[in-house]
Chains A and B, each alone.
Chain A
Amino acid sequence: MNILTRILRTPLGIAAVVMLTLVVATAIFAPILWGEEAAAVDTDNMLAGPSLEHPIGTDQLGRDLLLRVLVATRLSVTLAVLATLVAVSAGLILGVAPLLLGRHIGRGVTWLVGVAVAFPGLLLALSFAVIFGSGWLGAVLAIGLAGAPSFARLCQTLIAGVASRDFVAAARIGGVGRFRVLTRHVLPNIGEPLIVNATIGAGGALLAFAGLSFIGLGVQPPDYDWGRLMMEGLLGIYVNPLAALAPGMAVVIAGLSFNLVGEAAARSLGIQVGGFTSKVRKAASKPVTAPAAVVAADAADNDDVVLDVRDLRVSFPGPAGDVRPVRGVSFSVRRGEAVGIVGESGSGKSVTALSIAQLVESPGVVEAKALSFLGEDLVHGDTARHRKLLGTSLAMVFQDPMTSFNPTKRMGAQLAEVATEHQGLSRKEALARAIDRLDAVRITDPAQRAKQYPHEFSGGMRQRAMIGMGLMGAPALIIADEPTTALDVTVQQQVLDLLEAIRERDDVALLLISHDVSVVAEVCDRVLVMYAGRIVEDLPAADLATAAKHPYTRALLAAVPDMDTHLHLPLATIAGRPVDPAQLPEGCAYAARCPLADARCRAVDPHLATDEDGDRVACWRAGEPMPLGMPQVRTGVETNETEGVLV
């Protein structure tokens, strides 16, 4: 029922469900109510035109056509559904064969299905119809079997997706047989998309059936379906066009109701289908909006500041009110400075980076008292100019370099595009600069490499090329979001070294986002610790190990083993789980997990207070010693024996 309520949430879904209900109700009740009347011969009224008594006229035997169209609903819909069932069953059998029969036979079945899919469906249906002979059973089998290859292909694709997941591997290791894997793990996970596609398939089957009956291969007299009625009506189309059009409209309405229900279900479940309505929707990106807020003027005074963020807030509409992944973040980055942001997943660190680069997409809303980059106010004003400024002066490096590049374009061309787009260079000049930049990020033989595609680069090389792309302009700031998380340890070091070298050479500022405290501590001058959408501590990286004041920062440091962790003590852990951004508590967001928390922490949210050194911390009990048995402040390498956890 959950799926039905989700479908009914959209106007399209409501319309589709109402339509399908009407069609099904007609199929059930029309033959009971009007069955005899529709078969009643009236020789006085043969081939009559529309009148009050017969709204769309009568046929050769004087039978009322409107009633016949309504009564024919049952046979038309039933046969279409039967044909779909044949198609799905045959498709399912062919689809699961590779899983059950093992690799070699399975490959043969896959090959066969591939050939069958390539064969035109209508032609297949016609040849089957000839083989099975005319009549409804033959037509059901013909249309069903003609639809089977595409369902088989769908099943194979869905099954392959599920079968490669680790839970199937785990079940196999655990001695669960193939058939049980199929029934317990695979089928339940492909059921939804299969049913949705079958519903859409039923619409197609209805149309195909009408076609077969129309050419006389389907339903035979005295039975009649819509196709049959159309064929009979066609004879008198110049006398009474409604006789042929009415059953045609019935086919369209019923077919549409199946298709739309399927589409609506697919959309509410997030399944991709090749339907026509899915193409209508187009992603609209909404420009960053801001409340009528005064832009802080004092930030622009300081030439040294590359990026100034004041009270940045990001919200996304959610089912139970807005979700706010970033709730008032303020910081600035000076020229040449390296600032790190650390935090768990869901702390808002990546959203912060995206909103600075103006990459938060609709329906997300970004608000800030000030968001200025190189003195340019990004909250208000001209977006085209912002795009150009960001395109040339801001470089973004993402976690997964494979998805950041277009796999079908050569690397050199992709880098060059930046320069033709933002700097107005000619193609040739841009490519020359691209090769120069690849060289700058230490890619050997850059001219040759520029001709290659992204998949020909290793992970570390792609990440360096991504940095090279950022260097096509003259960046003042590089934002790197988990740039080394997907890389090997040795490659990670090369990428970090490269960032360091660029920073020193051109005085470029770096905003490094990472979950790995040790990476941030090594690379950055200053560290911002984020929790639940806020900065909870801002301190020099050098003080991280010795002078962290917030209990969360201290716990984060103690929870990860490093090469000096005491081997005989258990690691420190952080109790509980991160707060849900949709359900934030009244007081400090960390209070529920914090061993120091008292009544005040749970009632009043601490603000980010600045101390005399310029460090900031948001905690009522900052720097207080932890209770016994909890992670203590680290005191550096000299006292290795006492760090970690005191049990």
Chain B
Amino acid sequence: MSELRFDDVTVRFGAGRTATTAVDGVSLTIPDGEVVGLVGESGSGKSTLARAAVGLAPITSGRILLDGAPIAPRRGYRPLQMVFQDPYSSLDPRMSIGDSIAEIIPRGLSRAARRDEVARLLELVHLDPTHARAYPGHLSGGMRQRVALARALAGRPEVLVADEITSALDVSIQGSVLNLVRELQAELGLSMLFISHNLAVVRYVASRVAVMYRGRIVEEGPTLQILEDPQHEYTRNLLAAIPGRAKTPTLI
């Protein structure tokens, strides 16, 4: 489907001496149909990079390319969509989930076609289509995150950006959302930028991983290779800090 490429992207906030560089000359490619995990500590710039990709943060310099061309918001077609960390804040409490999803569906469809599309999307994320009339307040955290996924898919994206989508969820629900992400990715062939601070989660979902530290990508490569043979000091620290690592040092 599509390849997303960050080409020497810099994002700077503020001006003059107080300016901070959140993303510092990042070049990263998300190959067609692959999941790239992006790990790093808070403040490393990984969320800013994601927001820059979907146009929420203005980039100071560099380019973000989709299949080699700059991303232009074409009418009724959104090539990039994003799923946020907190499903309690990413859905409008005053809007039924069906309306929230329908809002993102490209214009030009009849009312009935829209309703069918909402039902199809809800089924895709394993929710009962009758939930379309429910409000977010009536749904559990895991169900809300499924709705957020369905809404992102409503824009027919070629690349999906997922920013810490399981870290606000209860442990018992995380697994089912991760299963869903893997399933959707395989089914739809999405390219995906998957941001997480949890290396075990990234290991499970992503085929490639990029490690971000202080606004720069310090290491990037196939997931298992990076986890087994980290080259950068920070990656090694990150791996050593995983609870229980001392007791079970082996990797599959």
Identify the A interface with B (CB < 8 A). Answer: 165-167, 169-176, 184-185, 188-189, 344-345, 459, 488-493, 496, 515-519, 521-523, 555-556, 558-567, 570-574, 577-578, 637, 640
**What is the chain A residue whose CB lies nearest that of B201?**
A561
Which B residues, 175 to 230, have Cβ-Cβ distances below 8 Å to chain A? 175-176, 178-179, 182-183, 197-201, 203-204, 227
Contact B247 A170 (CB under 8 A): no
**Interface pair B204/A574, CB less than 8 Å apart:** no
Q: Are A564 and B176 closer than 8 Å at their CB atoms?
A: no
Beyond the given A188-B95, A563-B245, please list 17 additional residue pairs across the A-B interface where CB-CB is below 8 A: A166-B85, A171-B103, A173-B54, A175-B73, A185-B94, A188-B92, A344-B171, A489-B197, A493-B241, A515-B170, A518-B242, A519-B243, A522-B246, A555-B172, A559-B172, A567-B203, A571-B178
The 6 closest A-B pairs by CB, nearest first: A174-B104, A571-B175, A166-B90, A488-B41, A493-B241, A559-B175
Q: How large is the interface on B (under 10, 10 to 19, 20 to 34, 35 or more residues)?
A: 35 or more
**Nearest-neighbor residue (CB-CB) of B88 within chain A:** A166
A518 contact set on B, CB distance < 8 A:
242-244
Residues of chain A lying within 8 A (CB to CB) of residue B203 = 561, 563, 565, 567
Given A174-B104, A175-B155, answer yes or no on A166-B89 (Cβ-Cβ < 8 Å). Answer: yes
Question: Quick check: is B3 within 8 A (CB to CB) of the other chain?
Answer: no
Q: Is the CB of A184 within 8 A of B103?
A: yes
B95-114 CB contacts (< 8 Å) to partner A? 95, 100, 103-104
* Closest Cβ neighbor of B87 among chain A residues: A166
Given A344-B172, A561-B204, answer yes or no on A521-B243 (Cβ-Cβ < 8 Å).
yes
Verify B178–A173 contact, CB threshold 8 A.
no
Instruction: Please determine whether B204 and A565 come into contact, CB atoms closer than 8 angstroms.
Output: yes
Given contact pairs A170-B84, A492-B241, A493-B241, A565 touches B200 in the complex (Cβ within 8 A): yes
Rounded to whole Å, the gap between the CB of A265 and the closest CB of chain B is 18
A and B contact pairs by CB, cutoff 8 A, 15 listed: A166-B85, A172-B56, A174-B78, A174-B104, A174-B155, A175-B76, A345-B170, A490-B241, A493-B240, A558-B175, A559-B171, A560-B200, A561-B201, A571-B176, A578-B170
| A517 B171 Cβ-Cβ under 8 A | yes
**A489 touching B103, Cβ below 8 Å:** no
A577 to chain B: closest CB distance in Å?
A: 5
**Partner among B90, B179, B240 whose Cβ is within 8 Å of the Cβ of A571:** B179
- Which residue of A is nearest B85, CB measured? A166
- Contact between chains at B91 and A560 (CB < 8 Å): no
Chain B: which residue is nearest A521 at the CB level? B244
Which chain A residue shows the least CB distance to B139? A577
Inter-chain contacts of B246 with A (CB < 8 A): 522
| Residues of chain A with a CB closer than 8 A to B70's CB | none
Bound-complex Cα distance A578 to B100 (A): 26
A491 to B241 Cα, complex, angstroms: 8
Q: How far is the CB of A186 from chain B (nearest CB, A)?
A: 10
A residues near B178, Cβ cutoff 8 Å: 561, 571
Contacts of B18 in A (CB 8 A): none
Contact partner of B242 among A184, A489, A523, CB < 8 A? A489
B15 at the interface (CB under 8 A from A): no
Contact B55 A173 (CB under 8 A): yes
* Contact, CB under 8 Å: A573 / B248: no
Specify which chain A residues have a CB less than 8 angstroms from the CB of B241 in the assembled complex.
489-490, 492-493
Contact B151 A174 (CB under 8 A): yes
Quick one: which of B55, B76, B172, B243 contacts A496, CB cutoff 8 A?
Answer: B243
The interface of chain B, by Cβ under 8 A from chain A, is 41-42, 54-56, 73, 76, 78, 80-82, 84-86, 89-95, 100, 103-104, 140, 142, 148, 151-152, 154-155, 170-176, 178-179, 182-183, 197-201, 203-204, 227, 237-238, 240-248, 250-252
Contact residues in B for A566 (Cβ distance below 8 Å): 252
- Residues from chain B with Cβ under 8 Å of A558 in the complex: 175
Task: Report A-chain residues with C-beta under 8 Å of the C-beta of B85.
Answer: 166
A516→B243 contact, CB < 8 A: yes
Task: Check B200 against A189 for contact (C-beta < 8 Å).
Answer: no
Residues in A with CB closer than 8 Å to B56 are 169, 172-173
Partner of A167, one of B90, B170, B171: B90
Asked if A170 contacts B179 (CB within 8 A), the reply is no
Q: Which of A189, A489, A564 contacts B251 (CB 8 A)?
A: A564
Nearest Cβ on chain B to A557's Cβ, whole angstroms: 10
A560 touches B94 (CB 8 A): no
Of A169, A188, A345, the most chain B CB neighbours within 10 A belong to A169
- Give the nearest-CB partner of A346 in chain B: B170
| Chain A hits for B244, CB < 8 A | 518, 521-522, 562
**In the bound complex, what is the Cα–Cα distance between A560 and B199 (angstroms)?**
12
Interchain CA distance A515-B55 in the complex, whole Å: 34
A566 to B173, CA, bound (A): 18
Smallest Cβ-Cβ distance to B152: which chain A residue: A170
A170 touches B148 (CB 8 A): yes
Give which listed residue, B84, B174, B242, contacts A563 with CB less than 8 A.
B242
In angstroms, Cα B178 to Cα A441, docked, is 37
- Cα of A450 to Cα of B24 in the assembled complex, Å: 33
- A167 contacts across to B, CB distance below 8 A: 89-92, 100
Which residues of chain A are near B245, meaning CB under 8 Å? 563
Residues of B within 8 A of A170 (CB): 82, 84, 90, 104, 148, 151-152
Q: Which residues of A contact B152 (CB under 8 A)?
A: 170
* Nearest CB of chain B from residue A404's CB, rounded to whole Å: 18
Evaluate contact between B172 and A574: CB separation under 8 angstroms.
yes
Distance from A458 Cβ to chain B, minimum over Cβ atoms (Å): 9
Q: Which residue of B lies closest to A560 (CB)?
A: B171
Q: Chain B residues near A459 (CB, 8 Å)?
A: 42
| Residue pair A560, B174 in contact (C-beta under 8 Å) | yes
Q: Are A189 and B92 touching (Cβ within 8 A)?
A: yes
- Write the chain B residue with the least CB distance to A640: B252
A458 to B104 CA separation, bound complex (whole angstroms) = 39
A522–B247 CB distance below 8 A: yes
The answer for the CA separation of A144 and B176 in the assembled complex, in Å, is: 55
In the complex, A571→B180 CA distance in Å?
10
Q: Which of A171, A173, A496, A556 has the most CB of B within 10 A?
A: A173
Residues from chain B with a CB closer than 8 A to the CB of A166 are: 84-86, 89-90
A173-B81 CB under 8 A given contacts A167-B91, A521-B243, A564-B250:
yes
Among the interface residues A175, A189, A523, A564, which one has the most CB atoms of the partner chain B within 10 A? A175
> Is A561's CB under 8 angstroms from B175's CB?
yes
| Chain A residues closer than 8 Å to B227, beta-carbon distance | 563
